[in-house]
Structure 1
Amino acid sequence: MKLFVYYLLTIPAFALAQSEYEISGIEMFNQDLQKTAEGIIYVSSQPFHWSENDFIILGGTLAGGTLLFMADNDINNFFKRNHSKIATRWARIGSNYGEPLTVVSLTAALYIFGIVTGDDWTRETAVILTSALIPAGAIQTISKLSAGRARPYMELGKDDFKFWRKGEDYYSFVSGHTLVAMSTSLVLAKRIKNNYASTILFGVAGLCAWSRMYLNNHFSSDVFLGSALSFATVFAAFSAHSQNATQAKNKESVKYVFNTGFNRIGFQIYF
């Protein structure tokens, strides 16, 4: 009889303890969706919270972009004069790394793996990537549509801009492939925190940036500003992630734990 009563008391207590710590896949998805939305809003609103130092960095970035803009035709001509079969193969490989499909597939794979295995690291990495790339992609889309800059292969020169000109041939400003490649490599490098991995990741991202100029798809200023945009949005996304982690830790500062043993049930509060 005592044993029967023990099991009656133990099973509900164990179930309550389990429910405190186990989260279903749907609940994890909803939480991550909220974190992603908060991250996107945080990244998008950062210019309204910039400090004086941030504006100095912005000024330096624009100055660097202007200097490259002045040299765009010369740099473009250099690439056109220096082509080879081997370099072209490498350029195509690098360009593929910056394809939107590449990062979408990678992000989806990371997230699905995280949900299935319960691995927080991969899920959080996917959330950070999404939080950084959606605002960056929106800015890049607006810039290429509004600037209407002719691509180098159109042979119209670096100065050919036309407001809201439609067509892929006039979407040079800024480089979306470079933005995707740099953002992906930067997020993964900051998450993995390994020098060898970082070298490979930034090497591939650099290959993509070079390929966009080599393949005559972008001017150097397009590539430079695409890279700068990726750094700005990725660092903001990591800042949002840190804030979410801090808030989650504070919420978990009080924990209720059920302990069971022979002929006893324990209830503990940690704070």
Structure 2
Amino acid sequence: MKNSILVFFILFSFTCLAQSTSKDSVETRWQMFTYDIGNVFKGIGYSYSRPLHWTGKGWATFGYTMGGTGISYLVDTPTSKYFRGIKEDVPNVIRDYGFNYGSPENNYMVTGAVYLTGLISKNEKLRRTGALLISSASSAGLLQQILKSAVGRARPLSGKNKDTYRPLWAGDREFHSFPSGHTILAMTNAHAIAKQFKNGWVKTGIYTLGSIPAISRLWEGKHWLSDVVLGVAISIFTVESIDRYLDSKYDQKYNDNAKKLSWNLNFGPGQVGLHLEF
């Protein structure tokens, strides 16, 4: 499964190579590497500083996100029961993919492969994509680790209810539920890669692959629905923030004329879904 994930990202890298011609061949790879790594760290810092610059629209978006998370919190118990009940009906290959794709070691293996392909080929678009993937995963990943330890929410598989917390309790993994780390890593990758394409069907396929690890956390009993919802929101906001920063650092832009992505949660009898428009 790990190899299949890596193959997907290698194929993606070659697709980007076919779409873009390098314009920076006069620079040495060491110069490119130091420039890119600098942008990775600056991008992380930029994403953390954004709340200090929020205006009315930014705070409104934050409010909508908290509202959506709160609504999903109300149905955490029945949705957890439903998804855990269908676990044995899910094919093993999908279950394995859901776990492996969202794990940190696999995430950095594949995002590193994208960046190294761009560095070796001196392809700015791939280098920028790699920088976006690495900085987004690092920024959102660190944030979720802090939140998990600070909030100390019990996981569904612990046998405790959704309202059980041990704030600032970092020693017990059963109290590291909020938000979902697998969701964050998978969706930061999906959102960053989907920005490379204009075709709606391609985007849909990428987001579908990215959503499987998120949903897998529900049937595995690792997270509640509200953990996953907030994880998706953190992923999208982090990628968008760092991508705007990288716009000022690289000539290659992503689909300048493309529509902005919008998203909302859909609830219905026996179902829950994330609706994306692009």
Structure-1-length-normalised TM-score: 0.79
Q: 2:49 aligns with which of 38, 45, 54?
A: 45
Q: Residues of 2 paired with 1:21 and 1:104: CA distance?
A: 26
1:92 aligns with 2:104: no
TM superposition shift of 1:199 = 1.6
1:187 aligns with 2:204: no
Q: Residues of 2 paired with 1:116 and 1:43: CA distance?
A: 28
Residue 167 of structure 1 aligns to which amino acid in structure 2?
A: D
Partner of 2:245: 240
Q: Residues of 2 paired with 1:102 and 1:120: CA distance?
A: 24
Q: Residues of 1 paired with 2:200 and 2:74: CA distance?
A: 35
Alignment check: 8 A CA contact 2:87 2:220 kept:
no
Q: 1:130 aligns with which of 98, 109, 134?
A: 134
* Worse-superposed segment, 109-118 or 178-187: 109-118
Partner of 2:109: 105
Larger Rg: 1
Q: Residues of 1 paired with 2:118 and 2:131: CA distance?
A: 11
Q: Residues of 2 paired with 1:195 and 1:122: CA distance?
A: 21
Q: Residues of 2 paired with 1:180 and 1:82: CA distance?
A: 24
Structure with greater helix share of residues? 1
Question: What is the RMSD computed on CA atoms of the aligned residues?
Answer: 1.7
Partner of 2:211: 206
TM superposition shift of 1:85 = 4.2
Count of matched residue pairs = 227
Residue 75 of structure 1 aligns to which amino acid in structure 2?
A: T
Q: Partner of 1:32: helix, strand, or coil?
A: helix
- The structure whose RCO (Cα within 8 Å, separation 6+) is larger is 1
User: Deviations 1:126-162 (Å, cap 9, x if unpaired)?
Assistant: 1111221222111101100111111100110100111
Residue 189 of structure 2 aligns to which amino acid in structure 1?
A: T
Q: Residues of 1 paired with 2:131 and 2:87: CA distance?
A: 39
Q: 2:174 aligns with which of 160, 169, 181?
A: 169
Residue 173 of structure 2 aligns to which amino acid in structure 1?
A: E
Alignment check: 8 A CA contact 1:174 1:226 kept:
yes
Structure-2-length-normalised TM-score: 0.77
Q: Which sections of structure 2, spanning at least 5 residues, go unmatched?
A: 1-23, 252-278
With over 3 angstroms needed to count, the CA separation of the structure-2 counterparts of 1:114 and 1:203, relative to structure 1, is same
User: Deviations 1:200-226 (Å, cap 9, x if unpaired)?
Assistant: 110011211111101111000000000
Residue 152 of structure 2 aligns to which amino acid in structure 1?
A: G
User: Deviations 1:43-83 (Å, cap 9, x if unpaired)?
Assistant: 11111011101111111111111111121111111123333
Following superposition of structure 1 onto structure 2, how do residues 215-230 of structure 1 map, counting pairs within 5 Å?
Answer: 215-230=220-235
Q: Residues of 1 paired with 2:81 and 2:156: CA distance?
A: 10
Following superposition of structure 1 onto structure 2, how do residues 27-106 of structure 1 map, counting pairs within 5 Å?
Answer: 27-106=31-110
Q: Residues of 2 paired with 1:79 and 1:227: CA distance?
A: 18
Residue 234 of structure 1 aligns to which amino acid in structure 2?
A: V
Residue 55 of structure 1 aligns to which amino acid in structure 2?
A: W
Residue 140 of structure 1 aligns to which amino acid in structure 2?
A: Q
Q: Residues of 1 paired with 2:216 and 2:96: CA distance?
A: 7
Alignment check: 8 A CA contact 1:91 1:210 kept:
no
Q: Residues of 2 paired with 1:175 and 1:77: CA distance?
A: 17
With over 3 angstroms needed to count, the CA separation of the structure-2 counterparts of 1:158 and 1:87, relative to structure 1, is farther
Q: Residues of 2 paired with 1:94 and 1:37: CA distance?
A: 28
Q: Residues of 2 paired with 1:83 and 1:238: CA distance?
A: 36
Q: Residues of 2 paired with 1:82 and 1:107: CA distance?
A: 31
